[in-house]
Amino acid sequence: MLTKNDIDWLKSELVPSLSEQVKKDLSERLDWIATMLDKQSGNLQSIETELTLIRGSLETHTANHSTLVKRIVNIEKHLHLPAAS
């Protein structure tokens, strides 16, 4: 059976050491998690940038396509050609 002195010793010696080890372990784990989140955030940012560039290219392509269709329709009308399907 533990005596009062044994319990006091455990509290004074074991608990602080255990507490420090838990803090150290948690800190290391949280650092690792933060590093992984930073990497993923960077990856997502790169993907977002690429999507923005693709959307811009698509909008430009769509605008060019629309302009070309209008020109073809106008040329067909001017030359009295049947509409292309």
pLDDT greater than 90 at residue 84: no
Say what the pLDDT of residue 85 is: 67
Q: Tell me: the pLDDT tens digits for 56-73?
A: 999 999 999 999 999 999
pTM tops 0.85, yes or no: no
* Predicted local distance difference test score (pLDDT) of residue 1: 87
Instruction: For residue range 22-64, list pLDDT tens digits in order.
Output: 999 999 999 999 999 999 999 999 999 999 999 999 999 999 9
The full DSSP string for 38-72 is: HHHHHHHHHHHHHHHHHHHHHHHHHHHHHHHHHHH
